[in-house]
Amino acid sequence: MKKHAVVIGSGIGGLASAIRLAHAGFDVSVYEKNAVLGGKVHSKTLGAYRFDMGPSVFTEPHLVDELLGLASKPVSFSYSLLPESCRYFFSDGQQIVLKSGTSGTKASLTNDLNEDPIAVESYLERISKNYRLLRPVFIESSLHRWSDWFNRALVPAILNIPFYGLFQSMDRWAKKRFKNPKTVQMLNRFATYNGSDPYQTPGLLSIIGHLELNIGAFFPEGGMVSISQSLIEAAKSLGVSFYEESPVSEIKHERGRVSGVCVKGKAIPADVVVCNADVHYVYETLLPGIKPPSRILQQEMSSSAIVFYWGIKKKFDALGVHNILFAEDYEAEFNAIFKEDRILSDPTVYIHISSKMEPTDAASYGENWFVMVNAPIDRGQDWPSIVTELRQQVLIKLQKQLGEDVAPWIEEEFVNDPTTLAAQYNGKAGSIYGNSSNSKMAAFYRHPNAAFRLKGLYFSGVTVHPGGGIPLAIQGAKIVERMVHADFKGAI
């Protein structure tokens, strides 16, 4: 008789875990609290405009291909490398289009920002090498079990510790290599990919930029939602059962081992439970009587966000698929978010426009704008007032950069803030990535992919190891699969 695995949450980490466990021989059930599957990777349609509601940057598509290869029948999924990774708009009016790949990055940093070509080449090679060294021991593995320490890749990774920038901030690490503050600002922004502050997070996290700077960003045909849709199709082909609007209220356990979950008052037996929910929510709500790992859970939280979804009844050629309109004082912006629990009056604005690649995502005369500003977590601030004020500040910034008032062109609008994000995804106080990496060792203190005190309980997703983003969530599911195989020792 097949063993039963329950997956709590249908985000990318949950879907990847469901696919891998079903392929390994488990009978898998996925319980999702919301009416739609996919976690943050789902979409919303407003009038003639379709919006991806969550992640918008797609890298390492081969990881999705690998998962789809486990399906029992072919699943269609297409993507292409974007010719440019991002367009940058600086407060003094300078605009830079960063072409994809190492050569494109090098050309922009040397020609547009007057950086030394040798320094640029050295930096790009360094973050590429650091990524290759750390990937097998820190991304594809967790080092939370003794067996992972018998990895031959661990020795070269340890020998290169002096070159990771572990004992200086990401900002300081970049400033030692480049002279133009704009270059440093461009490199610092990658700290936001896991909700952290580049003036606090270690230079080690500069490897986040490797995938975009040395390779580039990809665009999935149909938008980001096609990633989750394809994974759902693959999971269903393997017999995975999905239950929407079915929040898990408790993880059952006895004698140090999980025994199942409770859904709508009904006990569901399970041999394995994989949590794709925020790890803080799991311990605070789903595991009564289990002592939480306080050292991990009491770390500083990652940032949240305010997102405006605007249907714009006009096309703006100055904007690309990915766009960053930088704050003039970047350090002050992060101080405001992490130390003052507020948003700077001149914030950095990110705009994603999928209709640049997928015209059917917008009306024929317009574009779908995903407009995001990093925000502090919810500590009881007056969010309706903050959103109203921020909207005006963003519009002023856009008018300055584009030379035109955007407000009259907005015909559809929806907004997410930390409170709505917390309610929909159970992220603690609206935090997007769980803990931040705002300390030298924080990246090493993310919750492992298996529970400390309960056998049969595992974790995948952006709030646990190895971290935030679609690629890391997929890698976390692979770690879960390996742990389950080791724990069950051929019993599946």
444, pLDDT greater than 80: no
Which of 267, 255, 258 has the alpha carbon at shortest distance from 287? 258
Q: What tokens appear for 199 in the block?
A: 């003036």
Q: Which amino acid is at 385?
A: S
| Average pLDDT across the chain, whole number | 95
**What would you report as the CA-atom Rg of the chain, rounded to the nearest whole angstrom?**
22
The string of pLDDT tens digits covering residues 150-177 is 788 888 888 898 899 989 999 999 999 9
Q: Which long-range contacts (CB under 8 A, 24 or more apart) does 339-343 make?
A: 340/376, 341/376, 341/377, 341/379, 341/381, 342/376, 342/381, 342/386, 343/306, 343/373, 343/374, 343/375, 343/376, 343/386, 343/390
Q: Which amino acid is at 253?
A: H
Q: Can you give the chain as a three-state secondary structure string? A: CCCEEEEECCCHHHHHHHHHHHHCCCEEEEECCCCCCCCCCCEEEECCEEEECCCCCECCCHHHHHHHCCCCCCCCCCEEECCEEEEEECCCCCEEEEECHHHHHHHHHHHHCCCCHHHHHHHHHHHHHHHHHHHHHHHCCCCCCHHHHCCCCHHHHHHCHHHCCCCCEHHHHHHCCCCCHHHHHHHHHHHHHHCCCCCCCEHHHHHHHHHHHHHCCEEECCCCHHHHHHHHHHHHHCCCEEECCCCEEEEEEECCEEEEEEECCEEEECCEEEECCCHHHHHHHHCCCCCCCHHHHCCCECCEEEEEEEEECCCCCCCCCEEEECCCCHHHHHHHHHHCCCCCCCCCEEEECHHHCCHHHCCCCCEEEEEEEEECCCCCCCHHHHHHHHHHHHHHHHHHHHCCCCHHHEEEEEEECHHHHHHHHCCHHHCCCCECCCCCCHHHHCECCECCCCECEEECCCCECCCCCHHHHHHHHHHHHHHHHHHHCCCC
pLDDT computed for residue 143 by the predictor? 74
Q: What domains are there in the chain, each with its CATH number? A: 4-42+54-80+222-299+438-488 (3.50.50.60), 104-218 (1.10.405), 301-425 (no CATH)
**Cis check: omega of the bond before 83, within 30 degrees of 0:** no
Q: At what angle do helices 12-23 and 470-488 cross, to 10 degrees?
A: 30
Rounded to whole angstroms, the Cα distance separating 438 from 430 reads: 17
pLDDT computed for residue 492 by the predictor? 59
147, pLDDT greater than 80: no
pLDDT computed for residue 407 by the predictor? 98
Percent of the chain past pLDDT 90, that is, above it, reads 88
pLDDT computed for residue 151 by the predictor? 80
The string of pLDDT tens digits covering residues 275-327 is 999 999 999 999 988 999 988 888 999 999 999 999 999 999 999 999 999 99
**What pTM was computed for the model?**
0.96
The string of pLDDT tens digits covering residues 87-113 is 999 999 999 999 999 999 999 999 999
The string of pLDDT tens digits covering residues 52-88 is 999 999 999 999 999 999 999 999 999 999 999 999 9
Which of 163, 165, 203, 168 has the alpha carbon at shortest distance from 187? 203
Rounded to whole angstroms, the Cα distance separating 85 from 350 reads: 13
pLDDT computed for residue 209 by the predictor? 97
pLDDT computed for residue 491 by the predictor? 60
Q: What tokens appear for 480 in the block?
A: 């879960």
Q: What tokens appear for 1 in the block?
A: 């008789």
Rounded to whole angstroms, the Cα distance separating 34 from 409 reads: 32
419, pLDDT greater than 70: yes
Rounded to whole angstroms, the Cα distance separating 51 from 241 reads: 27
pLDDT computed for residue 490 by the predictor? 60
The string of pLDDT tens digits covering residues 451-474 is 988 999 999 999 999 999 999 999
pLDDT computed for residue 115 by the predictor? 98
The string of pLDDT tens digits covering residues 357-390 is 999 999 999 999 999 999 999 999 999 999 999 9
Cβ atoms 349, 372 nearer than 8 A: yes
Percent of the chain past pLDDT 70, that is, above it, reads 99
Cβ atoms 356, 211 nearer than 8 A: no
What sign does the CA torsion over 316, 318, 322, 326 have? negative
- What is the mean predicted confidence (pLDDT) over 243-259? 97
pLDDT computed for residue 443 by the predictor? 66
Query: 146-150, 189-193, 359-363, 481-485 — which is least confidently predicted?
Result: 146-150
The string of pLDDT tens digits covering residues 44-53 is 999 999 999 9
Which of 327, 371, 349, 320 has the alpha carbon at shortest distance from 92? 327
Rounded to whole angstroms, the Cα distance separating 242 from 246 reads: 9
Strand 241-243, strand 27-31: pairing? parallel
Q: Which amino acid is at 377?
A: I
Rounded to whole angstroms, the Cα distance separating 101 from 211 reads: 9
Q: Residue 489: which pLDDT band, with cuts at 50, 70 and 90?
A: confident
Q: What are phi and psi of 475, to 5 degrees?
A: -65, -35
330, pLDDT greater than 80: yes
